């Protein structure tokens, strides 16, 4: 397990839900955190949780559904900490429950934009710097969702994230930029809904495992946060 002291992590979608827990977990490991929500004031609750832990905290805002929103995040990092060591692509949206052939194309486009293309855009923005500095951890949130055609855009977006992560991991081999996926489990959040199997706190400490990997450790792998939980 490496030390995260002096490292800087951007956690997209850390204003609530799983991302909030990830940001809190990283902060408890003395990692500086860049919090993100669609609007700056959405970060307030998470900021309150991590303040007082002796780390630097930055807030960035941007809608991952738009190019302007993505650029706002990239600019926020440039104007704040200047670079990113750990990129947690956590933010995502779930499409409305709809029969697959009745799901309109704009819903497919929006879901893939936020869940896949924005992930790629942020990797494009931050991975080259990680490679130059010979340190990086990229963690892309995936899902164990299986054969749920009413949620096809969401499921397809996560399958694509899995494949993209594996391609990026191969491309980053021997650079100490490790690219892995994390399945948090079915969690009771706004996205997971009230019937989720696990409370949000159970994503810790497992969600931190891919950030704490030793240099040149596993890459292109899938981690399950629930494998590491303290309680059921
Ligand atoms: N919950 C589950 O059961 C479950 C299961 C498997 C995988 N996952 C994955 O875990 C990750 C986190 O899910 P969650 O359950 O914590 O979700 P959540 O509670 O709905 O939180 C979503 C987060 O993403 C941000 N976000 C939403 N739409 C955005 C947009 N268009 N642009 C930028 N940010 C946006 C939200 O920011 P604002 O507060 O500003 O809206 C919020 O911080 C997702 O990748 C999800 O697919 C979740």
User: Domain-by-domain residue ranges, the chain?
Assistant: 8-228
Strands 86-89 and 177-183: unpaired
Q: Catalytic residue numbers? A: 154
CB atoms within 10 A of CB 55: 21
- Centroid of chain to Cα 139: 6
Residues 6+ apart with CB under 8 A from 7: 31, 32, 85, 86
- Centroid of chain to Cα 128: 18
pLDDT for 231 = 61
pLDDT for 232 = 57
174 Cα–ligand 1 center, Å = 31
189/200 Cα distance (integer angstroms): 7
Specify the ligand 1 atom closest to the Cα of 154.
Answer: 47
Tell the residue nearest (CA) to atom 43 of ligand 1: 13
Q: What residues are in contact with ligand 1 under a 6 Å CB criterion?
A: 13, 15-19, 37-39, 42, 63-65, 90-93, 114, 141, 143, 184, 186-187, 189-192, 196
CB atoms within 10 A of CB 196: 15
32/30 Cα distance (integer angstroms): 6
Residues of the chain with pLDDT under 50: none
- Centroid of chain to Cα 214: 20
Give, in order, the Cα–Cα distances in Å from 121 to each of 18, 91, 94, 114, 208.
Answer: 21, 13, 19, 10, 23
pLDDT for 229 = 84
Which CATH code, of 3.40.1190.10, 1.10.760.10, 3.40.50.720, 3.40.50.1820, is assigned to 8-228? Answer: 3.40.50.720
Model pTM score: 0.98
Tell the residue nearest (CA) to atom 17 of ligand 1: 191
Tell me which of 106, 140, 191, 223 to substitute to probe ligand 1's pocket, judged by most ligand atoms within 8 Å of the beta carbon: 191
Among the listed residues 88, 177, 166, 174, the one whose alpha carbon sits nearest the alpha carbon of residue 128: 177
């Amino acid at each position: 397990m490496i030390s995260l002291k002096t490292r800087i992590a951007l956690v997209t979608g850390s204003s609530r839900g799983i991302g909030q827990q990830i940001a809190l977990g990283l902060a408890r490991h003395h990692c500086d955190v860049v919090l993100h929500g669609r609007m700056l004031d959405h970060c307030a609750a998470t900021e309150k949780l991590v303040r007082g832990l002796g780390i630097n905290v930055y807030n960035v805002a941007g809608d991952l559904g738009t190019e302007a929103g993505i650029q706002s995040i990239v600019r926020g990092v440039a104007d704040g900490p200047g670079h990113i060591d750990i990129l947690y692509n956590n933010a995502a949206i779930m499409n409305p429950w709809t029969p697959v052939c009745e799901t309109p194309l704009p819903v497919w486009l929006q879901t893939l934009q936020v869940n896949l293309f924005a992930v790629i855009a942020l990797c494009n923005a931050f991975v080259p710097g990680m490679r130059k500095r010979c340190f990086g951890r990229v963690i892309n949130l995936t899902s164990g969702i299986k054969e749920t055609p009413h949620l096809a855009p969401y499921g397809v977006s996560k399958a694509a994230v899995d494949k993209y992560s594996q391609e990026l991991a191969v491309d980053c081999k021997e650079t100490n930029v490790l690219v892995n996926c994390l399945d948090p489990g079915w969690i009771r959040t706004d996205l997971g809904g009230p019937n989720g199997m696990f409370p949000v706190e159970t994503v810790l400490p497992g969600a931190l495992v891919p950030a704490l990997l030793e240099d040149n450790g596993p890459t292109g792998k899938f981690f399950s946060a629930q494998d590491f939980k303290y309680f059921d």
